[in-house]
């Protein structure tokens, strides 16, 4: 009995810690959006108007984007993005703790934000559901969403969303539109050097 009495303050501290942890997690997830929009991906696309002789007259769009399936995206383009953004994409479950620690250390030593530690899955979570504000609460929500996305989608589905969603500048959203804008060709026709430029 005396042993339990001595442990009592520690047990209370552990219970309070677990309660705070559970409360914090609930606060972070209570209003997270459902992942339905990822499995039913229908972004705003380009509307093209052609003349009777099949010449393009005009394009109308909010975001200039042409969605392509992952099967049309060449492997060398996928490899270029993985090398630039997330080399361990096929090995982690949406979160790379090593990258987060490395980015934290680099940012701490630089005294400002110079490097990010986000995986491709985290970037999908941020792009679809969150803002880009630099707050700890946003980062924690991003981590939770990334983990959920990895449990809901295959790696190829995540890559397809990512490569069709990202912005390449000059009004080009997604790899197909970027390929047309910068190289005047379809994404499945770009070579290795062009893939490296896009990545």
Q: What is the DSSP string of 40-98?
A: T------EEEE-TTS-EEEEE-SSEE----GGGS-HHHHHHHHHHH-TTTTTSSS--HH
Confidence of residue 15 (pLDDT cuts 50, 70, 90): confident
Averaged pLDDT score across all residues of the chain: 82
- Rg of the chain on CA atoms, in Å: 22
Confidence of residue 129 (pLDDT cuts 50, 70, 90): confident
Q: How much is the pLDDT for 62?
A: 67
Considering only residues 133 and 120, tell me which one the structure prediction assigns the higher pLDDT: 120
Could you tell me if 120 and 86 are in contact, meaning their C-beta atoms sit under 8 angstroms apart? yes
Distances (CA, A) of 121 to 14, 21, 85, 88: 33, 24, 10, 11
73: number of Cβ within 10 Å: 24
Q: Which residues contact 25 (CB under 8 A, 6 or more apart)?
A: none
Q: Is the pLDDT of residue 196 over 90?
A: yes
- What pLDDT digit, counting tens, does each position of 33-83 carry? 667 767 767 676 667 777 888 887 776 666 778 889 999 999 999 999 999
Considering only residues 167 and 49, tell me which one the structure prediction assigns the higher pLDDT: 167
Considering only residues 49 and 168, tell me which one the structure prediction assigns the higher pLDDT: 168
pTM for the model stands at: 0.74
């Amino acid at each position: 009995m005396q042993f339990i009495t001595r442990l009592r303050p520690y047990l209370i501290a552990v219970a309070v810690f677990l309660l705070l942890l559970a409360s914090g997690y609930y606060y972070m997830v209570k209003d997270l959006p459902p992942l339905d929009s990822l499995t039913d991906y229908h972004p705003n696309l380009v509307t093209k108007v052609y003349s009777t002789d099949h010449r393009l007259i005009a394009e109308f769009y909010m975001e200039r984007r042409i969605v392509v399936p992952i099967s049309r995206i060449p492997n060398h383009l996928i490899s270029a993005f993985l090398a630039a953004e997330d080399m361990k994409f096929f090995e982690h479950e949406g979160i790379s703790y090593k990258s987060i620690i490395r980015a934290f250390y680099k940012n701490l030593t630089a005294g400002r934000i110079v490097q990010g530690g986000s995986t491709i899955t985290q970037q999908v979570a941020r792009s679809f559901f969150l803002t880009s504000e630099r707050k700890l609460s946003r980062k924690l929500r991003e981590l939770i969403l990334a983990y959920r996305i990895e449990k809901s989608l295959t790696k190829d589905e995540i890559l397809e969303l990512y490569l069709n969603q990202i912005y390449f500048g000059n009004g080009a959203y997604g790899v197909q539109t970027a390929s047309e804008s910068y190289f005047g060709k379809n994404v499945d026709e770009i070579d290795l050097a062009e893939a490296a430029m896009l990545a």
